[in-house]
Structure 1
Amino acid sequence: MTSDAYHSSGVDLDRMESLKERIRAFAAVTHGPEVLNADGSFAGLYRLGGYRQPVLVASTDGVGTKIKIASHMGHFESIGQDLVTLNVNDILTQGAKPLFFLDYIAFSTLDEQRMDTLMRGIVWGCREVGCALLGGETAQMPGVYGQDGLDLAGFVVGVVERDNVLKRENIQAGDYLVGFPSSGLHTNGFSLVRRVFNIDENPTVLFRPYEELHHQLGEELLIRHRCYYPLLKPVLGFFKGLAHITGGGLPGKMPAILPDDLAADFQRDSWTVPPIFDVIQR
């Protein structure tokens, strides 16, 4: 089938190939000697060394409907960073160091500027934690997504020494709970936010400044999902368990790391609630 025939179906093979070449150039910035091939092969090769009893840890997730906020605002770099961060945070709960990352990006209409911005965010997220962007899938699928539709998913593989895996059975009554401030909504709750502010029908509300936020609503909503790996990496040995608080909040995520016979006792007045939550509740 000729490229003209593909073009008539809504897929531009020449532009897609040019895009993939640029993506490979972006990814190369994250590669170290552990990456054994960077030539666009069918699968990426990564050499693992320096571990006695390595345990591989994997996670996959997407940024959800935060994409819609990014689309309305025309800002995509932060959700590229988010895509890496939320997966890295998930494997961090097992004590793992991220090794490599793969992305899945699908859309109906090819927008090179949007893709370049998105890839800069993904690369920034990978470099922040020292993992390689090893590969991925970029798909133009007219008819599946709307005219400006975009979908993102990420997959990360990390490693931890078997003796250092964080296990729930090590947590005991009397252990301390330590919390680290979030950056806001992370990448969850955006379907609710869109309904509360009627964003889909009136996206201009995203450009409304809120005094308590010190900037526009859309800017607040696009604050990147905080990456906890650089913060916790030097002190991982002091923790018995870690919970990545995302969808479901504290009630939904804390039980995942606790033994069945234990509960967590929080001092509700020990932290300051980010103002975005008050704005949403009003």
Structure 2
Amino acid sequence: MNKEKIAFLVDSGSNVPEEIVKLGNMKVIPLKIIYNNEEFTDNVDITAQDVYDRLEEEIPKTSLPSGETITEMLEEIQSEGFEKVICVTISSGLSGTNNMVRVVAEQFKDLDIFTVDTKNIGIGSGLIAVQAYTYVAEGLDWEIIKTKLEEDVAKSKIFFHVPTLEYLQKGGRIGLVASVLGNMLNLKPIITCNEDGVYDTVAKIRGSKKSVQKAISLAVEFAGTAKKYHLAIAYGGKTAESQVAGIRAELKKQLPLFDKIYEGQISPALGVHTGPGLIGIGVCIVEP
């Protein structure tokens, strides 16, 4: 246990790298994947590929974790002797998880709970949890950690290449006309989260290969003149996974000052809304 007795609570939509979760003191709040006749727990008994394999027969819905689940996790943290908790969640502009955690946290008067609204999703949010773990491991003061994490929200970004607009449209994320016209013209949107933490289309590129390259160039632009940063490659399904090696090589070439590169499959919950083939390029600036 760290000297400050700090634990971590993150949601599954943040896609915190498994290697960080396994380091200990970190519990993952699972979102829910709901079909007409059955329900699954995000990244526990269902994968993104499982979701894709069933999309033709049914597009599931996603839901927030229950307040009871969050309460039980915080009770476990308290029983394990921790006095402080850092909660990292995906954007409050995309999910009610952040607000639910804040409401439940008010019941725990003996725990000092700090909740971070990352204004991000997927590994873009998860990279904030990586920073939180790093600060605690370095032994930084609690108040300094909180200040730095608030500042880090603006330093983390993910750019998603989305191969089809179909599932964003069906999920109400974009308009029907935009979806139809985009698919007719073979336009592939690059999506990120804006300052308010909601989806924002920052580019529309014709063709998948050029779209992925654009996502990389946007990540390079975001990193700017930073001297040190973490990178991440998130992918949805087998087809996207096959592109990771080439993307990794390109990132290393264009962003050579990286400290670590994290790679992993997106959460099933994100896959529901974006469909197969999603590729995300994430950047978290560590040193300006």
TM-score (norm 1): 0.28
Bigger Rg over Cα? 1
Higher strand share: 2
